[in-house]
């Protein structure tokens, strides 16, 4: 039996949510003690479609904070941060272990769907593994590849020297003139309401207050000098040719703390230790994460910027989907890549259930499934596949009977058939309009 898994078991309360979508039955149990449930595509669906290819855009797995536990982070809290198992910004030991689990799951999934064989030694025409040239992305891709294709030894493509951003994955703005800069800044300012850029921090003011309490910033070394809270109204944004959109101000500092705190949550086995001695509910962790998500949204997901910075990756995705012999493609980048690509495609708003990061979960993957219909037409479905917060913390083995979560994604303005699939031709035309 061929199954498409979309939901794992993650949370604490007993409840099932049942809905019909894309000719599928969705059952979402919310109790880790319950039997795994999944979505299974119906017999009629299977008679009408055959899976031809998966193109996967992945975020790297768990890393250490970009600055490690260094001066920026140690200055704003009296507490000691987790002892990271890797250098600043690099993939952690646990991150590698988790990516191996995800690669092993994708192997089972792909074999079950029939797009690869269990003893495959794939050619370069069939399989492509390509990652940004930073340690955390290259290592993530290597762990995934070794688990999905054990014993084959596929080395991820690296187009720049290690430590230098690959232009395909580098979310920098290009062709920046005053008209583009004005449009981009206006769209960002609109997110702050009547206050414009000065109001952007206020959108997550309550969440920033939660961060201040968790890290006890009032008792920090910074409090003895100049910083007893994160400023809300001092956001400044810069958009320059050949550089990532950048921000200064209290929201940026709060984002760094949010990022480090979440990484500490993933690594720590104790909830109390992860929260610096504070008892935090799951909802508190998602609120803490929303500060980082908001920072990323402001910089990378407005219409003008998302289309500008995502073009190189969308070009790669478009080319991969057009290849007749390709069975599996893995492109490994960053949360800014996933956020900007989905925003450029005009993806419907979503919040990832049972994830701390509800927009671009750590190690999460956007999967473009290419299906051949019985009518001879090629179709595409989009999923966001990721391990739940519980699966991450427990390093849970992922199998067809205990799968990660897969969230169906929908694109605005693109017509779908009765099964919720887009024609490949329509999607390719849509991407071409963005690339122009």
Q: Which of the residues are catalytic?
A: 60, 335
Q: Where are the beta strands (DSSP E) in 292-404?
A: 328-333, 365-373, 378-386
State the Cα torsion 276-277-282-287 to the nearest 10°.
-50
115: CB partners within 8 A, 6+ apart: 51, 52, 53, 54, 327, 328
356: CB partners within 8 A, 6+ apart: 262, 265, 266, 285, 286, 288, 289, 389
Q: How far apart are CA 419 and CA 229, in angstroms?
A: 50
Q: How far apart are CA 110 and CA 23, in angstroms?
A: 21
- Tell me whether residue 135 is exposed, middle or buried, using C-beta atoms within 10 angstroms of its C-beta: 0 to 12, 13 to 18, 19 or more: middle
Q: How far apart are CA 38 and CA 29, in angstroms?
A: 9
Using an 8 Å Cβ cutoff, are 319 and 325 in contact? no
From first CA to last CA, the distance across the chain in angstroms is 43
Residue 38 is given by DSSP the state -
Backbone torsions φ then ψ of 251, nearest 5 degrees: -65, -40
99: CB partners within 8 A, 6+ apart: 61, 91, 140, 143, 144, 147, 363
Apex 230 CA angle, 224 and 235, nearest 5:
130
Q: Is 147 helix (H, G, I), strand (E, B) or coil?
A: helix
Q: How far apart are CA 338 and CA 188, in angstroms?
A: 18
């Amino acid at each position: 039996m061929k199954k498409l898994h979309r939901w794992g078991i993650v949370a604490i309360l007993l409840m099932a949510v049942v809905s019909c979508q894309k000719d599928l039955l969705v059952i979402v149990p919310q109790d880790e003690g319950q039997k795994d449930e999944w979505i299974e595509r119906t017999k009629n669906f299977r008679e009408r479609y055959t899976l031809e290819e998966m193109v996967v855009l992945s975020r790297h797995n768990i890393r250490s904070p970009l600055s490690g536990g260094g001066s920026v982070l140690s200055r704003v809290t009296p507490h000691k941060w987790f002892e990271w198992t890797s250098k600043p910004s690099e993939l952690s030991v646990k991150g590698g272990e988790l990516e191996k689990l995800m690669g092993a799951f994708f192997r089972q999934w792909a074999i079950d769907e029939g797009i690869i064989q269990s003893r495959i030694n794939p050619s370069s025409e069939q399989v492509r593994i390509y990652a940004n040239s930073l340690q955390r992305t290259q290592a993530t891709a290597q762990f995934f590849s070794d688990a999905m294709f054990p014993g084959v030894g596929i080395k991820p493509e690296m187009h720049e020297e290690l430590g230098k951003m690959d232009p395909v994955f580098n979310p920098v703005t290009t062709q920046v003139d005053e008209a583009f800069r004005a449009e981009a800044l206006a769209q960002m300012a609109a997110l702050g309401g009547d206050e414009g850029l000065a109001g952007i921090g206020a959108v997550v003011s309550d969440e920033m207050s939660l961060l201040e309490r968790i890290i006890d910033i009032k008792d920090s070394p910074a409090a003895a000098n100049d910083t007893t809270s994160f400023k809300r109204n001092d956001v400044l944004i810069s958009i320059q040719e050949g550089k990532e959109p950048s921000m200064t101000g209290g929201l940026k500092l709060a984002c760094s703390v949010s990022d480090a705190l979440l990484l500490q949550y993933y690594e720590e086995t104790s909830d109390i230790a992860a929260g610096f001695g504070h008892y935090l509910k799951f909802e508190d962790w998602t609120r803490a994460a929303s500060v980082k998500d908001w920072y990323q949204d402001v910089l990378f997901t407005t219409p003008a910027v998302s289309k500008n910075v995502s073009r190189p990756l969308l070009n790669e995705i478009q080319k991969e989907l057009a290849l007749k012999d390709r069975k599996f493609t893995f492109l490994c980048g960053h949360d800014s890549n996933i956020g900007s690509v989905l925003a450029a495609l005009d993806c419907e708003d979503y919040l990832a259930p049972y994830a701390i990061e509800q927009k671009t979960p750590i190690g999460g993957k956007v999967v473009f499934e290419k299906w051949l219909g019985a009518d001879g037409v090629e179709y595409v479905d989009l999923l966001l596949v990721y391990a739940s917060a519980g699966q991450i913390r427990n390093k849970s083995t992922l199998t067809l009977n205990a799968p990660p979560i897969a969230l169906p994604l929908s694109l605005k303005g693109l017509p779908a058939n009765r099964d919720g699939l887009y024609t490949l031709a329509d999607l390719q035309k849509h991407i071409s309009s963005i690339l122009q």
